Structure 1
Amino acid sequence: MASNVYDVIVVGAGLSGLQAALDIQQAGLKCLVLEARDRVGGKTLSLRSNISGQAVLKSELGAAWINDTNQSSMWKLAQELGLNTYQQNIIGDVVVQDTDGSLIKFQYGDVPKYPSVEDTASCIAIRDLVHEASVSQSPSIFLDGPHRQYLDTISFETYLREAKVTAKGFATAQVWTHAMVGCDPSEVSALYFLEYCAAGGGLMTMRGDGKHGGQYLRVREGTSAFAEGMAQKLIAGSLKLQSPVVSITQAASNGSVSVTTRSADTRTFQARRVIISVPTPVYKTIAFSPQLPPAKTAVTNRTRYGFYTKYNVTFRRPFWLDKNHCGLAQSFIGPISVIRDTSLDDGKTYCLTCFMGGKFGRKWAAQDAEGKKRSVLKQVADIFADGTDISDLFVEAFESPWMEEEYSGWGCPCPVTPPGVLAEAWDAMCAPFGNLHFVGTELSRVWRGYMEGAVRSGSSGAAETLLGLKATNPKL
């Protein structure tokens, strides 16, 4: 077999692509991974500093948490790679910044008590309604039927209005969409948001920072260590970085696929099957021949990111602990929608991760770098330090790059769909096309948008690819 001819080519070296490649390699087939960036990992990105020759985690700009129960693939991978984990801090008070700037404090696991009993009841009711809709099996949100069709005709905002939430209940739900998918409730279909929650085991599980929750365990070595460790398992020479794919051509005569990259020198590789492991908005940057089917193009052209940025701020000391805050907060006025304590477990690196999403995030992003920092420090001080000046405690800040990053599709964490797309188009979005297969966390029905979803999708795509190869060559 010629050196540039492969059984399978994987486009993209994020977690889904790397997992697919490892499964293909495990099956004894020749596999090539093409990655546009100069690194592996996709939307995992750990900032590290060198101390005494050792890489020490400073901050997570992408995916940051796993758990050891319902994220079994990531937990298994952590064990295989010898990575160390520690728990997200939930000891102390959580804070809600209300619409008038006042603060409501409560213990993690409890609920905020607003001045209006009606508001408190509305927040609990909408939480329970969304959670139940996302975990119910009668009918399941994933099961085709009139309920699924209807939920896709309305926005999540309309869903909330139909539930007759109070303004406080609406603001609570808006925090969820801002922090989870970077959207205002009006920008995403009710079906998409409920299905997104269902993929993670329900709203309460996805929002949870304790055992079983989506934000339970941190990784001491940084989440980039997952992809780096996976890449180490690939056969030498089977990963090519800085090789953005510009065209994919399926030959009508023999079904072979040509993949052309743009790098220092343009190269074309041949394969029997290709696995596409890039976000759907990135499909537009690749020239497919023949063109992708209209059903697939119609939906992928309508998937879109909200506005979602992580702004990580490090401080000289964890002043939020002084008043028994656990570092978790949510705001109804922004610019930050959610704050989490992401201090390292080294006893000297103290960090708050600020999630900027939706309309709050877009307004914040219109400022220059100094304005962004100043507005964040003011809000953090208002929430955790009684409004006192904390600028002398500031060390540095890191802003996630995804909104400006072509190979992520100019966004994070996961493309969403507006009303009228998902119910009719899910199968088309996931379906193979000829000898092309499609994977990625957004195509997973388990922990969509998370590392777990990426790895599971990669394995499913590899299995589908292997079945296709065996159908054409039973000896494989």
Structure 2
Amino acid sequence: MSSTYDVVVVGAGLSGLQAALTLDAAGLRYIVLEARDRVGGKTFTLRSPETGAVQCDLGAAWINDSNQSRMWALANELGLETYVQNTAGNVVVQDFDGKLVKFPYGQAPEYPSAKDTRSCISIRDEVERLSLTQSPSILSAGPYRQHLDSMSFETYLRNAKVTEKAFATAQVWTHAMLGVDPSEMSALYFLEYCAAGGGLMTMRSDQKGGGQYLRIRQGMSAFAEGMAGKLRPGSVELSSPVASITQKPNGTVSVTTKGPLSQTYQARKVIVSVPTPVYKTITFSPPLPPSKTAVVNRTRYGFYTKYMVTFSKPFWTERKLCGLAQSFIGPVSVFRDTSLGDQSYCLTCFLGGQFGRKWAAQDAEGKKSSVLKQISDVLADGQDVTPWFIEVHESPWMEEEYSGWGCPCPVMPPGVLADGWGALCAPADNLHFVGTELSPVWRGYMEGAVTSGEKGATDVIAELSRDEVKAKL
């Protein structure tokens, strides 16, 4: 059986759904093919099977109401209720020797060595400056951009002669933001990632304007569910993984799904809105351009897991802690309080890079006990927290094929981004590519996804209009 459309959208994450909404507004015929049995991609709210109450967000979990204008508009449009991230109280740093350094949110930690304190502040400020400076901008083609892409972020840090404590601080950033060690991506990639989110300080902030300012009481899945609900009924096909995309000599594209209900769809254009590692699961005919494939084959996820632990009481707030903590020894690199004030108190633990890989080698009980021990040490003054433990949930992304076996955003090693960005984002004849990792703003975030999806659909609409004009001449 074959169906014909103006556009087939592959993937019903936020970028694909936004692309479909833009196509819908333009009056085009479209279909969205989603491999999973749900919409939302890497946004996924776990809800209680008994009550439907939100338990936790296994994927993306925050927006803000100032510089994430698309997500804020969607939240209002869909009538979603926001909850401000808690920053009242002290932040904690777990040092190399396990000792704790506590300080008010918004200030810098003061270490026993003034040299360490100065080095941490200096590298933070330098990364912020580079990610925001307009002249010379890291986003402008030229020798400066090439130079930053020629080295790993670790080499960049070593060249800056940071102390080991400052290096560990930067490693906390890369673990929590991308799940990689500083050695695993180019300096340019990390700096550009920060620039896309308004700078390192904005991306790391839990306060107004920051990357972790607002959560949604209904859960982040409410965004995708609400967006899908605005589309033409029947326009989203779930459990329809795409097996092949074939561009034909007559200018049409054939998209075939796999599985017991395999179906083929014909279209004038296709918008591919899956993460780049997922491209390898689709047979493209003809193959994607070598310039694009060369970059796609070098994008990779790090090790990144969110481990959400629920307790019967917020023992950290009783100790005048806000729940934000970071560690130089792991296994958890960053903790955040993700309670929703409903008598169920939650800490989200970010495990990434080498710390996460080592932690993941344990069995389920070992993983849980090591995290609870660290929570006890860091947020409970050493008191055993197991009496208050209720349950734990671990994000599934590294085991999920349709996310590309990872989260939150693929990174690039040295020597790829500076010359490869244009090819990565470029269309391939009648195929257009969207997704948060291809966004110039808030890359890796939901805001980046919807921005990219809208731009991709707008480009497709413009091309179809030009084609119709040509056909009339």
With normalisation by structure 1, the TM-score equals: 0.98
Give the structure 2 partner of residue 309 of structure 1: 305
For structure 1, the residue ranges without an aligned partner over 5 or more in a row are none
Per the alignment, residue 294 of structure 1 pairs with: 290
1:222 aligned residue = 219
Letter in structure 2 aligned against 1:270: Q
Return the alpha-carbon distance in structure 1 between the equivalents of residues 417 and 49 of structure 2. 45
Structure 2: runs of 5 or more not aligned: none
Q: Give the secondary-structure state (helix, strand or coil) at the position aligned to 2:348.
A: strand
State the aligned residue count. Answer: 471
Say yes or no: does 1:285 pair with 2:274: no
The one-letter code matched in structure 1 to 2:391 is E
Preserved contact between residue 86 and residue 345 of structure 1 (Cα < 8 Å): no
| Counterpart residue number, 2:416 | 421
Taking the aligned partners of 2:339 and 2:261, their CA distance within structure 1 comes to: 43
Report the 3-state secondary structure (helix = DSSP H, G, I; strand = E; otherwise coil) of the residue aligned with 1:18: helix
Shift of 1:50: 4.9
Cα distance in 2 between the residues matched to 1:331 and 1:470: 54
Q: Distance in 1 between matches of 2:67 and 2:135?
A: 22
Residue number in structure 2 paired with 1:330: 326
Aligned-residue offset at 1:388? 1.8
Contact 1:381/1:388, CA 8 A, preserved across alignment: yes
Partners of 1:307 and 1:320 in 2: CA distance = 27
State the secondary structure of the residue aligned to 2:370: helix
Displacement of 1:62 after TM fit?
0.3
Q: Show the counterpart of 1:211.
A: 208
- Distance across 1 between alignment mates of 2:269 and 2:96: 53
Asked if 1:235 is matched to 2:232, the reply is yes
Written as runs of structure 1 = structure 2, the 5 A alignment for 1:368-407 is 368-407=363-402
Q: Which residue number corresponds to residue 119 of structure 2?
A: 122
Alpha-carbon separation, structure 2, partners of 1:218 and 1:267? 38
Equivalent in the alignment of 2:66 = 69
Written as runs of structure 1 = structure 2, the 5 A alignment for 1:431-442 is 431-442=426-437
Alpha-carbon distance, 1:305 to partner = 0.2
What per-residue deviation string (whole Å, max 9, x for no partner) do you get for residues 295-317 of structure 1? 00000000000000000000010
The CA deviation at 1:349 is 1.2
Quote how far apart the aligned CAs of 1:384 are: 1.1
The aligned counterpart of 1:165 is 162
After the TM superposition, which parts of structure 1 deviate over 6 Å for at least 4 consecutive aligned residues?
none
Q: CA deviation at 1:86?
A: 1.3
**Does structure 1 conserve the Cα–Cα contact (< 8 Å) formed by 2:436 and 2:448?**
yes
User: In the TM superposition, what is the alpha-carbon distance from 1:387 to its structure 2 partner?
Assistant: 1.5
Give the corresponding residue for 2:9. Answer: 10
Displacement of 1:409 in angstroms is 0.2
Q: Bigger CA drift: 127-136 or 259-268?
A: 259-268
**Residue from 318, 342, 355 that aligns with 1:360:** 355
Q: Which amino acid aligns with 1:176?
A: W
8 Å CA contact 2:87–2:322 kept in 1: the answer is: yes
| Residues 275 and 404, structure 2, Cα contact 8 Å, conserved in 1 | yes
- In the other structure, the counterpart of 2:451 is 456
Equivalent residues of 2:2, 2:264 under 8 A apart: no
Range 83-92 or range 259-268, more displaced? 259-268
For residue 53 of structure 2, give the secondary structure of its aligned residue in structure 1: strand
- Give the share of equivalent positions with the same residue, in percent: 70
Structure 1 residue 263 and structure 2 residue 259: aligned? yes
Moved more, 207-216 or 134-143: 134-143
Please tell me the residue identity of whatever aligns with 2:211: G
Corresponding position of 1:31: 30
Amino acid at match of 2:329: I
Amino acid at match of 1:6: Y
CA shift at 1:49, angstroms?
Answer: 1.4
TM-score (norm 2): 0.98
Aligned mates of 2:386, 2:420 — CA distance in 1: 49
